[in-house]
Structure 1
């Protein structure tokens, strides 16, 4: 009976995004959706399809589809602009490293300038992945989403709502850091490729003097730093300057020493910059492909459960597995040997509905069962032992009565005096309007079970039996 347990067709991401955006808008206040509800009820037969179509119809009225189309149109251009900006910045950094008039490169300053921002943003992304934090603002992925929403929606458009909806969908599917990583790692990968190409071209066709400079640090510090940083690049075949090259006065190493400096700098950029971004980019693509099916609306959310009840109220009465042409036998006679017990049964209630409810008499026997055959047998055995004067069966008003429900009620009537149905709204607490229970009354009348009273409030059920 739980909405979340019903089989659902995969909702395309654009439809899921519109559905989530409409839900966000309705959190501020309900929308006039009577026409959308009727049209969705007439055109779709499954609950997920009805919820999605209702959201699409409301989205068209609110301009969400238009904003989404604008965002999808602008998104590639915003991404291209960010790529161009980081490439130009990379070229600028490479030029600042190798473009000096004296052609002298401070090796440590070059390494920090080329890897500093990359390591900072990478650390922020990893923290957002490992810790339950909000989406990291310090990433090109987040900047891309923000700029797209601003350019596509302007100051008063619905693009910010769509961005919040996309963020919530991605977070629910555990895809938010990976989606942002797709953009961020992609931009950084391209940036490092351009920087490495410019750096290698300059080092291949110009002569540079690579050294380090300091005023307060001990030379042994640089020796240890170079050797420690060079261990991982050495695995990939990049040379590491030896102690004589590192400690050469004024950086005046011979040609072989200068070549080892250049290879060390290139290896550090490849191993600590390019390779992590490329690997994380591939991992982000794999995670996106793996978890993208999770980009679905949360059909077990209270708002969607309320929609399910409203759709059920609009539906004509129906028995989901009716036996055409079958005649219903008369209801069992009221037994004469009942006791004084009151048996209250929660039948196939959602897990978040508390049972027994507040207001139930203290001497009442409370029982909660699911729809399994064993649970129904337990209920019948309990009713046969207690022979209660009154039995109260609570169930969801949005549930569809079937022949199994009819058989259970007939068997219970043989063991109890009075029998009543208490119909619960989707939130488990609010009472239904009287019109919301008419479908059940009509069904009971058609089954010949008029003896069972139907109530929308617990007080009426306890008073009326």
Structure 2
């Protein structure tokens, strides 16, 4: 992961970057100035693409519209919650607000849980088909669409911003969870309001609860009540027995049992699943939100990387004819060293993940990456001169060829630390590793520990027991 993704604005920046990609599907934008600005402001390849997108986004109005959407989002959500709560109160009123004060418990249960069960099944289906119509039927999708429409109006950039947002969420496998966090939260609040209204009415008014049928066998209702009441019974809610179910007019105790059974079913099959899914959605969002980045492997981004690479000055990779074999620089004395480990990715390919997954967690948090440019090298050498670490582990791409610039950089690093080690990552074969080892020997740096295995290249003190 690059440093850009660690900033607080990482997701909005990613949305703008993806929105520019979708915008340029209909034709490239004039980006000559944006390219120059991006190349001058950062040396990180992915950061350059993001900076270019931000420059273009400002020009066509993406950032202002995204800012308006973020301002309107809480208000649109509040209005949607108010609408759902009012609908919940109306549904509760239709159940307990009748003039005859007679409640058909089966009809009431289907009325209160039917739409909830249907939308829940659609959301579960959306976990396996996140780009299908299942998610577009959720309250989360309605909230996102309304927010984009309110913020952008009829002629705004809402469609491309919505497409970019949903694309990022889908790539991170967060689309159903993000929409679910909104939908389940609204449903949970709605059920809480319905239960509060029902309990208030049942506590202070007298109702007659029963069931009715014309064609079904009464034993069917006995079985249904027992099956549905099993889970609420585990939480202490009573379940009407067969005699109570079959009684034409149950007494006061029977009416109380019916009322608590109905309440228990709404709690267990309505409120609790939604609350549990809110917590689960929040947990999944927290775990996966760092993956909300563009797919840098897309051909569109690869072309941009090539364009930025063409702007960089050419690197000298030829051998220095007539150069004598240099002596191995001596590291700093132990008295000047500090117990520190620097892990540095050096001239790695843009599509190589960083930090590498193989690094121990405590080491990966301190890892940094430089592109080999003069400013990046100087900034790192300044850090080393200030810290004097005991060990510097350089992560190099094994398939790349070392050159004079690599040798010069290694010697400069050795002047500011106790020892320097090389991890030759992503080695395509033993020949690539051997090429580096031969090069170290030929340049007088053979005492540097180099390996394509992290366990050998990493100091023993950095390996967790």
For the criterion TM > 0.5, the same-fold answer is yes
313, 318, 321: which is aligned to 2:315?
318
Once residues 90 and 264 of structure 2 are traced to their aligned partners in structure 1, the CA distance between those partners, rounded to angstroms, is 20
Once residues 310 and 38 of structure 2 are traced to their aligned partners in structure 1, the CA distance between those partners, rounded to angstroms, is 13
85, 88, 91: which is aligned to 2:86?
88
Alignment of 1:407-446 (within 5 A): none
In the superposition, relative to structure 1, how do residues 6 and 204 fare at CA in structure 2: closer, same or farther (>3 Å)? closer
1:377 deviates by 6.7
Deviations 1:277-303 (A, max 9, x none): 000000000001000000112122111
363, 370, 374: which is aligned to 2:399?
370
Q: Which residue of 2 aligns with 1:50?
A: 48
1:328 deviates by 3.7
Alignment of 1:220-259 (within 5 A): 220-249=219-248, 252-259=249-256
Runs of at least 5 residues in structure 1 that lack an aligned partner in the other structure: 331-347, 352-368, 382-402, 411-465
Q: Which residue of 2 aligns with 1:176?
A: 175
Alignment of 1:398-413 (within 5 A): none
In the superposition, relative to structure 1, how do residues 133 and 256 fare at CA in structure 2: closer, same or farther (>3 Å)? same
Q: Which residue of 1 aligns with 2:263?
A: 266
305, 314, 333: which is aligned to 2:302?
305
SS of structure 2 residue aligned to 1:27: helix
In the superposition, relative to structure 1, how do residues 303 and 233 fare at CA in structure 2: closer, same or farther (>3 Å)? same
14, 19, 22: which is aligned to 1:21?
19
In 1, are the aligned partners of 2:131 and 2:170 still within 8 Å (CA)?
Answer: no
Q: Which residue of 1 aligns with 2:339?
A: none
In 2, are the aligned partners of 1:9 and 1:48 still within 8 Å (CA)?
Answer: no
Deviations 1:398-424 (A, max 9, x none): xxxxx97x969x9xxxxxxxxxxxxxx
Choose 1 or 2 for highest CA Rg.
Answer: 1
Deviations 1:238-266 (A, max 9, x none): 000111111112xx100000000000000
SS of structure 1 residue aligned to 2:209: strand
In 2, are the aligned partners of 1:238 and 1:264 still within 8 Å (CA)?
Answer: yes
1:329 deviates by 3.2
Which deviates more, 32-41 or 128-137? 128-137
SS of structure 2 residue aligned to 1:245: helix
In 2, are the aligned partners of 1:141 and 1:180 still within 8 Å (CA)?
Answer: yes
Q: Which residue of 2 aligns with 1:36?
A: 34
In 1, are the aligned partners of 2:5 and 2:290 still within 8 Å (CA)?
Answer: no
Once residues 55 and 179 of structure 1 are traced to their aligned partners in structure 2, the CA distance between those partners, rounded to angstroms, is 25
SS of structure 2 residue aligned to 1:244: helix
In 2, are the aligned partners of 1:153 and 1:160 still within 8 Å (CA)?
Answer: no
Once residues 145 and 48 of structure 1 are traced to their aligned partners in structure 2, the CA distance between those partners, rounded to angstroms, is 28
Is structure 2 residue 303 aligned with structure 1 residue 293?
Answer: no
SS of structure 2 residue aligned to 1:105: strand
In 1, are the aligned partners of 2:130 and 2:176 still within 8 Å (CA)?
Answer: no
1:132 deviates by 5.8
In the superposition, relative to structure 1, how do residues 8 and 147 fare at CA in structure 2: closer, same or farther (>3 Å)? closer
TM-score, normalization: structure 1? 0.69
Once residues 197 and 219 of structure 1 are traced to their aligned partners in structure 2, the CA distance between those partners, rounded to angstroms, is 31
In the superposition, relative to structure 1, how do residues 180 and 376 fare at CA in structure 2: closer, same or farther (>3 Å)? closer
1:317 deviates by 2.3
In the superposition, relative to structure 1, how do residues 84 and 8 fare at CA in structure 2: closer, same or farther (>3 Å)? closer
In the superposition, relative to structure 1, how do residues 161 and 99 fare at CA in structure 2: closer, same or farther (>3 Å)? same
Instruction: Count residues in correspondence.
Output: 345
1:376 deviates by 7.8
1:164 deviates by 0.6
SS of structure 1 residue aligned to 2:250: coil
In 2, are the aligned partners of 1:349 and 1:370 still within 8 Å (CA)?
Answer: no
In 2, are the aligned partners of 1:10 and 1:296 still within 8 Å (CA)?
Answer: no
Once residues 432 and 271 of structure 2 are traced to their aligned partners in structure 1, the CA distance between those partners, rounded to angstroms, is 66
SS of structure 2 residue aligned to 1:274: helix
Is structure 2 residue 208 aligned with structure 1 residue 215?
Answer: no
SS of structure 1 residue aligned to 2:75: helix
SS of structure 1 residue aligned to 2:239: coil
In the superposition, relative to structure 1, how do residues 380 and 53 fare at CA in structure 2: closer, same or farther (>3 Å)? closer
1:380 deviates by 12
In 1, are the aligned partners of 2:109 and 2:262 still within 8 Å (CA)?
Answer: yes
Is structure 2 residue 130 aligned with structure 1 residue 108?
Answer: no
Runs of at least 5 residues in structure 2 that lack an aligned partner in the other structure: 324-348, 353-397, 401-423, 443-465
Q: Which residue of 2 aligns with 1:203?
A: 202
In 2, are the aligned partners of 1:186 and 1:278 still within 8 Å (CA)?
Answer: yes
Once residues 188 and 121 of structure 1 are traced to their aligned partners in structure 2, the CA distance between those partners, rounded to angstroms, is 10
Once residues 240 and 184 of structure 2 are traced to their aligned partners in structure 1, the CA distance between those partners, rounded to angstroms, is 30
Once residues 429 and 276 of structure 2 are traced to their aligned partners in structure 1, the CA distance between those partners, rounded to angstroms, is 55
TM-score, normalization: structure 2? 0.69
Deviations 1:182-238 (A, max 9, x none): 100000000000000000000001110001112221211111111110000000000
Q: Which residue of 2 aligns with 1:329?
A: 322
